[in-house]
């Protein structure tokens, strides 16, 4: 029996991945990644780096990408809840500049599989959130890029909160998609 369901989103290559959970009065167990099952679903990635962050309610991280070494990411929430977003930046994609958003939480245990060629960001909805992701390429700080989270052309429907969003100084000053003109070569994988 499969330990994952792979649900396509409106953007080709982006999947909502839901692990099968085994639970009883003691708690639960689940696989969060299985190379064989991901390969069978057509998601053939070799992950080389795992990252984890902790953030408070209202923290908005993103929208980030690497310019020369784009990363595919499998993202999930260990504790709390976030609204997670991927923006298509693939040069020949019919959905270039469009976004997918999904609530990821410790309760729903959903993950988002984001291929290379996307900007990524998330907004913390709970008091705190611990966020983890696997990457198929290493982090290169000199290649950091970003798009402003509230780009009017992308028009992401970020959830409204009872507090102001908190962004890093770097994230406050990203350009719009039009201004950055970023387009990842290779199109759809």
Q: How far apart are CA 44 and CA 138, in angstroms?
A: 17
Q: Per-residue pLDDT tens for 90-136? A: 999 999 999 999 999 999 999 999 999 999 999 999 999 999 999 99
Tally of CB atoms within 10 A around 39: 11
189 inside domain: no
187 inside domain: no
Q: Is 133 annotated as catalytic?
A: yes
Domain that holds residue 15: 4-180
47 inside domain: yes
188 inside domain: no
Q: How far apart are CA 41 and CA 17, in angstroms?
A: 10
> Which residue of the set 45, 133, 149, 174 is catalytic?
133
Q: What is the CATH number of the domain that holds 141?
A: 2.60.120.10
pLDDT at 185 over 90: no
Looking from the CA of 184 toward its CB, the CA atoms found within 13 Å total: 26
Which residues are CB-contacts of 88 (< 8 A; sequence separation ≥ 6)?
11, 14, 95, 96, 97, 98, 99, 117, 118
15 inside domain: yes
β-strands 4-8, 15-19 pairing: antiparallel
Q: Per-residue pLDDT tens for 16-74? A: 999 999 999 999 999 999 999 999 999 999 999 999 999 999 999 999 999 999 999 99
> Which residue of the set 45, 64, 149, 174 is catalytic?
64
Question: 123, exposed or middle or buried, with CB in 10 Å at 0-12, 13-18, 19+?
Answer: buried
Q: Is 64 annotated as catalytic?
A: yes
Please name which of 93, 63, 55 lies closest in space to residue 186, comparing C-alpha atoms: 93
pLDDT at 188 over 90: no
Task: Quickly tell me which residue has 């990408």 as its tokens.
Answer: 65
Total number of domains constituting the chain? 1
């Amino acid at each position: 029996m499969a330990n994952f369901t792979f649900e396509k989103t409106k953007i080709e290559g982006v999947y909502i991945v839901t692990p099968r959970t085994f639970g009883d009065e003691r708690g639960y167990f689940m696989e969060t990644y299985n190379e064989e099952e991901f390969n069978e679903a057509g998601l053939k990635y070799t992950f080389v780096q795992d990252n984890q962050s902790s953030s408070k309610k209202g923290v908005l991280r993103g929208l980030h990408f690497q310019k020369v070494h784009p990363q595919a990411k499998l993202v999930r929430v260990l504790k709390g809840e976030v609204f997670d977003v991927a923006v298509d930046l693939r040069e020949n994609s019919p959905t270039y500049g469009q976004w997918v958003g999904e609530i990821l939480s410790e309760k729903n245990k959903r993950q988002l599989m984001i291929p290379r060629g996307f900007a990524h960001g998330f907004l913390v909805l709970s008091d705190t959130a611990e966020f983890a992701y696997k990457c198929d390429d290493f982090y290169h700080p000199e290649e950091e890029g970003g798009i402003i989270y509230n780009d009017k052309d992308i028009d992401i429907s970020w959830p409204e909160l009872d507090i102001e969003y908190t962004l890093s100084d770097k994230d406050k000053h990203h350009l719009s998609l039009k201004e950055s003109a970023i387009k990842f070569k290779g199109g759809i994988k």
